């Protein structure tokens, strides 16, 4: 099904190329409103997860997810820049345990959290990083107080819509513009002359953490993205 990104944050992160014949590469940002691929319609959940992770990462904290989410969902989170899965961390819950790197909390609010953290530090006198398990909605409340969040759900809303025609899309990362080639075919950006990157492709890089990371890094500084019809 040919799809466009109809509703959600100004920039979403594409994930789920394995459910598409043509699409952006996993981890590629897509602009609100733009057509992006020919995919199974349930890909909205994967795009939503990837987009949520990116938004939380931009708050300056590490983001982890649970393997219990499922393989597709974990890969989507990596496409959004996730730092890892909870089950691979050395952690304990609510209390410091000898040698762990992380202590995971599920507090009601930041006040409960910071006082609990200090109290544990005082008792154990050992270094540890603070993680909070929380939904997307509450992640921004805790982000200023923690080293990382474990996202438990409540993903950002992303809606897709079915479209009739999938144009070629050429991106100028420098200008933050995607050229939707409904009428004309462009090789270079009309604003700066740089060569355009083809966004929609049948190329499928391997589903590996390293590949997701490298694509995420490539676009980490893209904070605005719009499309222009040509
Ligand atoms: Zn340009």
Assess whether pLDDT exceeds 90 at residue 51.
Answer: yes
Model pLDDT, residue 125:
96
Centre of ligand 1 to C-alpha 61, Å, is 31
Q: Is residue 126 part of a domain?
A: yes
- Ligand 1 center to 171 CA (angstroms): 8
- Ligand 1 centroid–CA 180 distance in Å is 14
Q: Which tens digit of pLDDT belongs to each residue from 96-129?
A: 998 999 999 999 999 999 999 999 999 999 999 9
220 falls within a domain: no
Q: Which residues span the domain enclosing 139?
A: 62-151
Ligand 1 centroid from CA 172, angstroms: 5
Mean pLDDT over 156-183 rounds to 97
pLDDT > 90: what percent of the chain? 96
Ligand 1 center–CA 198 separation, angstroms: 14
151 confidence band (pLDDT: 50, 70, 90): very high
Q: How remote is the CA of residue 189 from the centroid of ligand 1, in Å? A: 5
Token couple for 197: 């990157």
Residue 104 within a domain:
yes
Q: Is residue 111 part of a domain?
A: yes
Residue 163 pLDDT level (bands cut at 50, 70, 90)? very high
Would you put residue 191 in left (φ > 0), alpha (ψ -120 to 50) or beta?
alpha
What's the confidence (pLDDT) of residue 153? 85
Q: How far apart are CA 131 and CA 104, in angstroms?
A: 5
- Distance, in Å, from the CA atom of 124 to the CA atom of 95, rounded to the nearest integer, reads 10
Averaged confidence pLDDT in the chain: 96
Is there a domain that residue 199 lies in?
A: no
Q: How many domains does the chain have?
A: 1
Tell me: ipTM over 0.95. yes
């Amino acid at each position: 099904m040919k799809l466009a990104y109809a509703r959600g944050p100004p920039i979403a992160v594409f994930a789920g190329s394995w459910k598409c014949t043509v699409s952006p590469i996993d981890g590629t940002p897509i602009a609100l409103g733009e057509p992006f691929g020919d995919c199974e319609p349930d890909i909205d959940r994967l795009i939503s997860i990837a987009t949520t992770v990116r938004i939380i990462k931009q708050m300056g904290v590490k983001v982890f997810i649970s393997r219990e989410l499922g393989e597709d969902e974990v890969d989507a989170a990596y496409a959004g820049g996730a730092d890892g899965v909870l089950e691979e961390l050395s952690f304990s819950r609510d209390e410091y345990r000898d040698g762990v790197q992380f202590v995971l909390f599920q507090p009601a609010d930041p006040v409960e959290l910071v006082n609990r953290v200090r109290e544990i530090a005082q008792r154990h006198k050992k270094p540890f990083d603070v993680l909070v398990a929380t939904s997307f909605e509450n992640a921004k409340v805790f982000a200023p107080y923690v080293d990382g969040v474990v996202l438990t759900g409540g993903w950002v809303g992303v809606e897709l819509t079915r479209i009739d025609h999938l144009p070629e899309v050429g991106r100028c990362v420098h200008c933050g513009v995607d050229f939707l080639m409904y009428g004309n075919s462009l090789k270079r950006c009309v604003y700066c002359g740089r060569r355009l990157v083809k966004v929609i492709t049948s190329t499928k890089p391997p589903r590996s953490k390293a590949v997701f990371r490298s694509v995420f890094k490539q676009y980490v500084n893209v904070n605005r993205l719009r499309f222009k019809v040509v």
